[in-house]
Amino acid sequence: MKKKIFILALMISFILPAYADTVFFMKPVTKEIEKSDANKIIKNLESTVSSKLNSVSYKDVSKAKLKKFGKCGMKPECWSENAGDEDFQYVLLSLISMNEDEEVTVRLVLINIEDEEVVDDESKTYDYADDANEKAIFSQIRKMSAFSEIKGGKKSKKDEVDKRTKKLEEERKKRERELERQREEEERLEKERKKRERMEEERQRREEEAEIARLEKERAKKEAEKKKEQASKKKSLKDNAEKLERAHELVLEMCSQGKYNAAIKAIVKVSEIKCECEEDAKVLALKTQLLNFNKVREQILKGVEAKNSSLILDNIEAAKALDESIVPGGTEFSQKVDKYAATGWLARGKEMEKANNYVEANEAFEKCAEIDPEKTECSDWLNSKDKLVKAIYDKASVMKNFNPTKAKELLRAILKLVTAENEHYKKAEQDLQQLEY
């Protein structure tokens, strides 16, 4: 007991020197009042607080702290959290406002930081701003319930020791009561837990015995059903394997005849049959190949119809490879693939010629004629190349003076289109040398 008293006295000795009933005078807030009137009342407030109370002004703290305090407003818990370590125990907030009749209201709010409570919240209305002088404001402050504690500065050490000692003793007894209550509650809960565990163990034992008997009966029943199901499934899979094999051959026959859409419909339907054997993989692979082939084939046919070289030439090799993977040697499509390719190069040649890209146009028409000599449009273009070269040369001659870059481009194209024996080849070569030098 003596030891506890000694510790308590030691704690108080550290607390007392730092403790004082000091009020922090927060910067006043004004609302709907002329600045000159507001400044006059604020000056009276500051003068009264500094002369009559043990106080710290908002002007005496750093901007960082003032900004932090400004967020607390009338929230005691915020002041306790942000100003609990400061040298003041109270906060005095003030609001100065004016109504339509030019009456001035001064509202004073006093917050006890340590106890986290609003001690006073009083307002007084003055007929005029000048009425809120120092004497009137002091009269308003004196009515606060905590005025006597703030006015006298520090309390006597004896009063403070009694207050702190009583508070610490109450807190100690409260903690002891709480610990005793917790201990009793833990003992009660432990007894209940053990009782529940015993009951649960007994219940589980009975359920396990009943479950074992049920499972054994269920196992025997399932075993018989499983044997019956396996026999039925075995027969069904065998029948499916035969169906898949026949269907696979039929689809390949459709493909070889060029009946692609019918083949796709058939293979999609057939793929729903399962045999859990090698035929499953064959049918799935054929289905994938057919679907992919049909996509690129449709792009090619669309390109032929629209005379779009990209749709034809970008898909021709893929379609040919897929066709040959479906049926060795290819289907009916492979017999027409050269015709499609020639059509694609013919369209490409016309596109390049239209874009004045004569070199690539020439290459496209040459490939067209090589693939399908019967494409007379391609051979006719190549046979009339001399006329084209003359037209290109004439165009380059006209552009030499006002667009030499374009002229050189056209002259270089002539050198790539014809051999050195051509009369326009030599002219183009000479003109090009003159333009470059």
The CA distance from 110 to 74, in Å, is: 9
Residues 349 and 341: beta-carbon distance below 8 Å:
no
The CA distance from 314 to 318, in Å, is: 8
Percent of the chain beyond pLDDT 90?
Answer: 25
Residues 92 and 23: beta-carbon distance below 8 Å:
yes
The values of phi and psi at residue 117, to 5°, are: -150, 155
- Secondary structure string (H, E, C) spanning 54-69: CEEEHHHCCHHHHHHH
pLDDT at res. 204: 93
The arithmetic mean of pLDDT across residues 40-47, rounded, is: 90
CATH architecture designation of domain 20-153: 3-Layer(aba) Sandwich (3.40)
Percent of the chain beyond pLDDT 70?
Answer: 87
Domain ranges of the chain: 20-153
Q: If pLDDT is split at 50, 70 and 90, which confidence band does 92 have?
A: very high
The arithmetic mean of pLDDT across residues 291-312, rounded, is: 87
pLDDT single digits (tens) 121-147: 989 899 888 888 988 898 889 888 878
Check whether 107 has a pLDDT greater than 80.
yes
Q: Which two tokens stand for residue 314?
A: 């970008």
Check whether 20 has a pLDDT greater than 50.
no
Q: If pLDDT is split at 50, 70 and 90, which confidence band does 162 have?
A: low
* pTM strictly above 0.85: no
The arithmetic mean of pLDDT across residues 333-359, rounded, is: 89
Nearest of 243, 242, 325, 315 to residue 290 by alpha carbon: 325
CA dist list (Å): 115 to 15, 76, 84, 119, 167: 16, 8, 10, 9, 12
